[in-house]
Amino acid sequence: MPGMGGMPGMGGMPGMGGMPGMGGDDAGGMGGMDFASMMGGMGGGMGGGMGGMGGMEGMMGGGGGGPKQPMDEVDGGQGDTKWKWEMNDDEILVRIALAKPTTKKDLKVAFGVKTLKVEVHGDSIIDGKLEGSVHADECTWCIAEKGAELQIMLVATSGNRWVSLMDGSD
């Protein structure tokens, strides 16, 4: 499938046909596109091509009093196990820098309603109870930065702000 950037109504989104991870590239993870690029393409470019709906907020019925301000990225973890996370409405993005290039074969990620478990190269990175509840069947992950970063998307059951990613951590 050639790049779709020139299709009418796509709001100038970059070509999507040759994305790594969409056709057998081992380093691409599940989607081959990092979360920031994906959200930038969806929210930033669709307003013009979708009848001026203003990106995802307009499509999801989010007008009301305006969107909540996204929280700043927060550091988490202990010792060598470090991650960064941020919450925007009911979406939580966790970013874990990986010490060496990683493929999906090197990872084990398990989502539970109140738990998250992440293993990289057999080492436990995160394993415990989350601060809140998530829709486990809607959570996903991908490998970004050519295998140097694991990005995990959690979908919280409510838009209430979490104090921390993991229960009992700062």
**pLDDT, tens digit only, all 170 positions of the chain:** 444 444 444 444 444 444 444 444 444 444 455 555 554 554 444 344 334 334 333 334 444 444 444 566 666 655 555 789 999 999 999 999 998 899 999 999 999 999 999 999 999 999 999 999 999 999 999 999 999 999 999 999 998 999 999 998 75
* Count of other CB atoms within 10 angstroms of residue 23: 11
Between CA 103 and CA 20 the distance in angstroms is 12
Per CATH, the number for 68-170 is: 2.60.40.790
E strands, the chain, are 74-78, 81-88, 91-97, 107-111, 115-120, 123-129, 140-144, 149-155
Query: What is the radius of gyration, based on Cα positions, of the chain?
Result: 17
Q: Whole-model pTM? A: 0.59
What ranges do the domains of the chain cover?
1-26+34-64, 68-170
